[in-house]
Amino acid sequence: MKLKFTKMHGAGNDFVVFNGCDQDINLTTAQFRFIADRRFGIGADQILIVEKTEKAGIDFRYRIFNADGGEVEQCGNGARAFARYVTDFKMTSHNPIRVETKAGIIELFIENNGTVTVNMGKPEFAHARIPFDANGLKGTPTGDDTVWPLFLDNESVSQEIDISVVSMGNPHAVQVVRNIDEAPVASQGPLIENHKRFPNRVNAGFMEIENRHSIRLRVFERGAGETLACGTGACAAAVAGIRRGLLDSPVTVKARGGILEIAWNGYGHDVMMTGPAVIVFNGEIDL
């Protein structure tokens, strides 16, 4: 089966995008993993499939699959890539663009300077909806947030960290670190991602506070490992920092692959994220 694809990235978080409107995309978990493989396949953190939808006033939906082949609810950088894709390939002339995702309908704005602004909706803090199992844990009120102790242990790690938990449609556990370059992303990331207190696993954020309007962020993503940027992770970190009284909106999030701007005016308000979305090349793969 020959499939046309487009390679894209948003601040270095990279995607393989398939147009499911003009070709039938039915892939197995093994095929998703092959496509995402950086040596044997094309290479990507996530795979996006753009499809038509019948919902009133909505033309498209996109589905997101992590490099491990699992389908997930939301992808902030992927949302921007979707907007760039349907605009540049003249699949729509709308701006803003409303699109259906597993996490719900979101709205995307193509800015004059080529960046894309996404209304990511409202953050979710209810543990049952993250989901996060705090049973038996004693949380510490921190500003408007509560941080939770998470005990990490394996043959090489045995330590307790304090996390904020928040969902942007997908689950995030965010901790503050003193120095992002020395953060134990590789050692702690997998332990947090697969921690038993996150029944659906979790994206693990490590943020260094630069000042009240700027952070440096690294994210060990669920199903993909450390990525150069994580859009929902940037939203989650900014929201957690604002709730903890460490940050004020807007927040500049400096990821290793680029910069994302996050704005959130507090409870009841949507999170707005602005950042780049780039088409790298088009190709065809024989699966």
Ligand X SMILES: N[C@H](CCC[C@H](N)C(=O)O)C(=O)O
Q: Does 258 bind ligand X (CB under 6 A)?
A: no
Q: Examine the residue annotation and report whether 235 is marked as an active-site residue of this protein.
A: no
Q: Is 135 annotated as a binding-site member? A: no
Let me know how many helices (H) and strands (E) the chain has, helices first: 4, 19
Retrieve residue 27's tokens: 């892939």
- What phi and psi, each to the nearest 5 degrees, are found at residue 234? -65, -40
Sole binder of ligand X in the list 170, 175, 249, 274 (CB under 6 A):
170
How far is CA 235 from its chain centroid?
8
Helix (H) or strand (E) holding 31: helix 29-36
Residue 165 identity (one-letter amino acid): V
Q: What minimum distance in Å lies between the beta carbon of 2 and ligand X?
A: 27
- From 230, 237, 246, 247, residue interacting with ligand X (rule: CB under 6 A): 230
DSSP helix/strand/coil, 259: strand
**Mask of contacts with ligand X, 18-57, x by CB under 6 A?**
---------------------------xx-----------
Q: Which runs of consecutive H residues, i.e. helices, occur in 93-251?
A: 185-193, 231-243
72 binds ligand X per the rule CB under 6 A? yes
6, 31, 66, 175: which one binds ligand X (CB under 6 A): 66
The yes or no reply on residue 123 touching ligand X (CB under 6 A) is: no
Shortest CA distance to 223 belongs to which of 248, 250, 200, 240? 200
Nearer to ligand X, 133 or 212 (CB): 133
In the structure encoding, which two tokens stand for residue 105, read together? 């309908």
CB of 101 to ligand X, least distance (A): 11
- Burial call 151-188: b when 16+ CB within 10 Å, e when fewer: ebeeeeeeeebebbbbbbbbbbbbbbbeebeebebeeb
230 catalytically annotated: yes
Minimum Å distance from CB 271 to ligand X? Answer: 12
* CA atoms of 133 and 42, how far apart (whole Å): 37
Interaction of residue 75 with ligand X, rule CB under 6 A: yes
Specify the stretch interacting with ligand X by CB under 6 A; choose among 50-58, 69-77, 177-185, 251-259.
69-77
The response to whether 117 counts as a known ligand-binding position is: no
- Closest distance between ligand X and the C-beta of residue 253, in Å? 11
Given 48, 49, 50, 75, the catalytic residue: 75
Kindly state the smallest distance separating residue 56's Cβ from ligand X, in Å: 27
For residues 260 and 231, is the Cβ–Cβ distance under 8 A? yes
| Cβ pair 125, 165 in contact under 8 A | yes
Q: Which residues bind ligand X (CB under 6 A)?
A: 13, 45-46, 66, 72, 75-78, 170, 203, 221-224, 227, 230-233
Binding site for substrate: residue ranges? 13, 46, 66, 76-77, 170, 203, 221-222, 231-232
Binding site: residue ranges? 13, 46, 66, 76-77, 170, 203, 221-222, 231-232
Catalytically active residues are: 75, 230
